[in-house]
Structure 1
Amino acid sequence: MKQFAILTKKETLQFIRELKIVWLPLAFIFLGITQPVVTYYLPYILEAFGGGQGIIIDSSMKDIAGNEILASTLESQFDQLGVIIIVISMMGVVQSDKANGMLGFILTRPVKVESYISSKIFSNYMFVAGSVALGYVVSYIYTNFLFTSIPFTSLIVALLFYLLWVLFVVSFTTMVSTFFNSQGVIALISIAVLLGIRMIVGLNPLLDRLNPASMSEYAKEALVFADIDMSVVWSVLITLLLSAIVMNFAKMWIANKKYNID
Structure 2
Amino acid sequence: MSTFIVLAKKEVAQMVREYKIIWLPLVFIFLGITQPVVTYYLPDILKAVGGGQGITIDPSMAAQNGGEVLASTLGSQFDQLGIMIIIVSIMGIIQSDKANGMLAFILTRPVKVSSYIYGKIISNYLFVTFCVTIGYLVSYLYVYLLFTSIHFIDFLAALLFYLLWVLFIVSFTTMISTIFNSQGIIALISIVFLLVCRVIVGLSSVIDKINPASMSKYAMDILVLGTVNPDVIWALISTILLSALTIMAANKWISKKKYSNE
Name the TM-score class by shorter chain: over 0.9
> Does the alignment pair 1:182 with 2:182?
yes
CA distance in 1, matches of 2:191, 2:53: 39
Note the aligned Cα RMSD (angstroms). Answer: 1.0
CA distance in 2, matches of 1:109, 1:232: 43
Q: Trace 1:231-242 onto structure 2 (pairs within 5 A).
A: 231-242=231-242
SS in 1 for 2:248: helix
SS in 1 for 2:81: helix
Give the structure 2 partner of residue 43 of structure 1: 43
Give the structure 2 partner of residue 211 of structure 1: 211
CA distance in 2, matches of 1:41, 1:9: 43
Give the structure 2 partner of residue 132 of structure 1: 132
Give the structure 2 partner of residue 159 of structure 1: 159
Give the structure 2 partner of residue 72 of structure 1: 72
Q: Over residues 65-98 of structure 1, what are the superposed CA-to-partner deviations in whole Å (9 max), with x where a residue is unaligned?
A: 1110000000000000000000000010000000
CA distance in 1, matches of 2:79, 2:57: 27
Task: Determine if contact 2:93/2:177 at 8 Å carries over to the other structure.
Answer: yes
Structure 2 unaligned segments of length 5 or more: list them.
none
> Could you tell me which amino acid in structure 2 is paired with residue 148 of structure 1?
T
Q: 1:145 to 1:2 in 2, by over 3 A?
A: same
Give the structure 1 partner of residue 32 of structure 2: 32
Q: Post-superposition shift, 1:229?
A: 2.7
SS in 1 for 2:202: coil
Task: Determine if contact 2:39/2:61 at 8 Å carries over to the other structure.
Answer: yes
> Could you tell me which amino acid in structure 2 is paired with residue 239 of structure 1?
T
CA distance in 2, matches of 1:165, 1:211: 9
Task: Determine if contact 2:11/2:120 at 8 Å carries over to the other structure.
Answer: yes
> Does the alignment pair 1:12 with 2:9?
no
CA distance in 2, matches of 1:145, 1:233: 33
**TM value normalised by structure 2:** 0.98
Task: Determine if contact 1:201/1:214 at 8 Å carries over to the other structure.
Answer: yes
Q: Over residues 158-180 of structure 1, what are the superposed CA-to-partner deviations in whole Å (9 max), with x where a residue is unaligned?
A: 00000000000000000000001
Task: Determine if contact 1:46/1:57 at 8 Å carries over to the other structure.
Answer: no
